[in-house]
Amino acid sequence: MANLSISQRFKLNAFFLLLGLLFLNNQKPNKHSWGFVGHERINEFAIYLLPSKLQAFFIQHLPYIVSQSVAPDKRRYISEIEAPRHYIDLDHYYVLGQDPFWNLPQNWQEAVDCHSEDTLQAYGIVPWHVIHMKYRLQKAFEQKDLTRTLKYAAEIGHYIADAHVPLHTTENYNGQFTNQLGIHGLWESRLVEIEADNFNFWIGPAQYLPSVQKAIWSVIHSSHAALDSVFKLETLVSAQILASQKYSYEYRGSTLTKVYSREFCNKYHHALNGMVERRMRAAILMVSSVWYTAWVDAGQPNLKEFQISNYENLESQDLDSTRKANSRWKQRSCH
Ligand SMILES: [Zn+2]
């Protein structure tokens, strides 16, 4: 696009935007992917909060950024190192009444020193993985590497979105210890499926984050603080509705599936007082802000000079660069 006039560029961007919107229309949740709609919307709307230069770049690749927002979840079934990147079981690190974060360093190396890497991996690493991914994204921007930039931008959006879900911060992630089995899908998929068309996703512009580490741990704090309401209100609303009306059956494609009824979902959504919408809005702002921060920290490279790179060995190279970054972090004894 180097030799195009401003009006030609505008037309080209408008064309890509139209292409993206057409793609999205065809990607509306279907019988197989409705559970992914939250991730897709978060990545899509994060693009609209970016400053114009960066937004034009992302809009050209909007179909990829949106469709790859769910790539990490698909990878969970084929890679055992993938699963812990999506959650953190904070309750493993404290007993009730204690500060959940007192014994949990935010810095990866310090946390490893305190609890061992095996333990961290066993109970989830989402906040640390977001920091690793920001580092990778920044490097990709620095190297003007189009392939990696798009891949890491799309995927960090997924992990940041997961960190905003209260149920991604507890061992009781699906209500299995409190007789609330299914609450995970209820909160993050079913409510989004039913209510998201009424959500307001127009949020202020992306902000530069002086510390992504502080920002993501603050997200984990607020997610975990909301957990109590997620469980208590489900119990409360369940008590207000006949057991026979809590569930209904809907077709997913040709399969009749048991789902939480719309009546129950509406009551629960109102009891939560907009919590799902608030968490989605916060996720959109943070995804956009982290993309923007990574680009700024990379020295604001010229986005017209980005080149497609070799995709082979991407994962192993990423692991090496992460190890190098980790080894630079200073060590500290823990509580
Ligand atoms: Zn996930």
Integer CA distances (angstroms), 204 to 43, 92, 213, 219, 260, in order: 15, 36, 21, 18, 33
Distance 279 CA to ligand 1 centre (A): 15
Per-residue burial over 242-267, b if 16 or more Cβ lie within 10 Å, else e, is: eeeebeeeeeeeeeeeebbbeebbeb
Distance 73 CA to ligand 1 centre (A): 5
Distance 72 CA to ligand 1 centre (A): 6
Flag the least confident range among 39-48, 243-252, 280-289. 243-252
Distance 129 CA to ligand 1 centre (A): 12
Nearest-angstrom CA–CA distance, 13 and 57? 9
CATH topology for the 9-91+106-302 domain: P1 Nuclease (1.10.575)
Distance 82 CA to ligand 1 centre (A): 9
Distance 159 CA to ligand 1 centre (A): 6
Question: What would the pLDDT profile of 187-228 be if each residue is shown by its tens digit?
Answer: 999 999 999 999 999 899 999 999 999 999 999 999 999 999
Distance 313 CA to ligand 1 centre (A): 23
Question: What would the pLDDT profile of 110-148 be if each residue is shown by its tens digit?
Answer: 999 999 999 999 999 999 999 999 999 999 999 999 999
Distance 332 CA to ligand 1 centre (A): 30
Residue 209 Cα to chain centre, angstroms? 17
Nearest-angstrom CA–CA distance, 55 and 131? 22
pLDDT band at 36 (very low <50, low <70, confident <90, very high): confident
DSSP reduced 3-state for 293: helix
Distance 116 CA to ligand 1 centre (A): 23
Distance 11 CA to ligand 1 centre (A): 36
Residue 7, pLDDT > 50, answer no
Closest CA to 215 of 168, 151, 159, 298: 159
The overall average pLDDT reported for the chain is 86
Q: What pLDDT score does 30 carry? A: 33
Q: What pLDDT score does 253 carry? A: 85
Look at the pTM and tell me if it is higher than 0.75: yes
Q: How open is the CA angle 88-91-92, to the nearest 5 degrees? A: 80
Distance 39 CA to ligand 1 centre (A): 9
Distance 162 CA to ligand 1 centre (A): 5
Q: Which residues contact 56 (CB under 8 A, 6 or more apart)?
A: 9, 13, 303
Distance 160 CA to ligand 1 centre (A): 9
| Total Cβ atoms within 10 A of residue 118 | 9
Question: What would the pLDDT profile of 133-188 be if each residue is shown by its tens digit?
Answer: 999 999 999 999 999 999 999 999 999 999 999 999 999 999 999 999 999 999 99
Flag the least confident range among 21-35, 231-245, 255-269. 21-35
Distance 18 CA to ligand 1 centre (A): 28
**Domain boundary assignment for the chain:** 9-91+106-302
For residues 280-300, average pLDDT: 98
